[in-house]
Structure 1
Amino acid sequence: MNDALTQPLYDEFPVLYAGRIKPASDSSMCWGFQCGDGWFALLRELSMHLTDYAREETSFHLEAVGVKAKAGYLRFELAFGTDWTEACIEAARRRARETCEATGKPGALCRPARGSRHAWAYRVLCDEKANELGYSKVMRDLSPPN
């Protein structure tokens, strides 16, 4: 995600994204948001829900340790989670599965039309971006990567 979108998330949710200043051995957030700009809105919404929850559950330590796209899936990992936070993250993952990583428009899982057929090269893209980048829709869904 570009800096113009990343910084507002850091500014609005400093506790959630405190890992951005930690070394890689402690948090993958030191590499920022490793996904496209199109997921900004859903990440902001998820961040708001998680932060609101942490305000009510004062004993809960809220900190993201990694946010990235992997094979077309949103990977959002907390240092500590609860059933509620996991359900909230899962809802965002489902939304990301239908949201173009590049534009935020409705999208679908796509793979490179030529070249690599490895799952790590898959992305969620709208038709316009898929055509522009040389991707084609995947006809069957794959299970999430580990």
Structure 2
Amino acid sequence: MSPELDAKLRADYPLIFTVDPVGDPYDLDMPPVPSAFATWGFECGDGWYDLLNALCLNLQHATKRGASQVVAIQVKEKFGGLCFYANGPDADQAGMIELAETMSKQLCEVCGNRGKTIRNGGIKTRCLEHEND
């Protein structure tokens, strides 16, 4: 994702995209370590910006209604779809994440237009215009 869009998502949703070290809730003796998100940021194209923005808006709205705070651990493209790994989602928030991941397989990762999953040196979701990108 472009540095500008990366910075906008981080600024708009600082509680989701924190860079604070993450501890292991099952092993309290392990010291917190930087998350993959803190290290790598958004590992996907600009075309999914609107999808991520809508997802985060809904996640934060759920938090304001009493749901737990979702914290992104990793946000990336894998096998042509969005993977949004996070700590803390309740069942409704997990459903929001699953919906966004499913929708990503219909949106070009480059531009956000309607796309399809193709095999082109890997598995990607692209529109006709960006099929060879």
The reply to whether TM is greater than 0.5 is yes
Contact 2:116 2:126 in 1 (8 A): yes
Match of 1:81 among 56, 69, 89: 89
User: How big is the shift at 1:22?
Assistant: 3.8
Gaps of 5+ in 2: 23-31
Partner of 2:43: 34
Partner of 1:44: 53
User: How big is the shift at 1:62?
Assistant: 2.2
| SS across alignment from 2:70 | coil
Q: Distance in 1 between matches of 2:69 and 2:105?
A: 28
User: How big is the shift at 1:33?
Assistant: 0.6
Q: TM-score, normalised by structure 2?
A: 0.85
Gaps of 5+ in 1: 134-146
Percent identical residues: 28
Partner of 1:62: 70
Task: Write the deviation string for residues 55-97 of structure 1: whole angstroms up to 9, x where unpaired.
Answer: 1116x13211111000111100111221101110111112111
| SS across alignment from 2:113 | coil
When the two structures are aligned, how many residues end up with a matched partner?
123
Q: How large is the Cα RMSD of the aligned pairs?
A: 1.7
Residue 14 of structure 1 pairs with residue 14 of structure 2: yes
Change (3 A) 1:22 1:2: farther
Partner of 1:72: 80
Task: Write the deviation string for residues 31-59 of structure 1: whole angstroms up to 9, x where unpaired.
Answer: 1110000000000000000011111116x
* Greater mean deviation of Cα atoms: 80-89 or 101-110: 80-89
Contact 2:60 2:69 in 1 (8 A): no
After TM superposition, what 4+ stretches of structure 1 lie above 3 angstroms from structure 2?
21-26
The one-letter amino acid paired with 2:16 is L
| SS across alignment from 2:44 | coil
Q: TM-score, normalised by structure 1?
A: 0.78
Contact 2:71 2:86 in 1 (8 A): yes
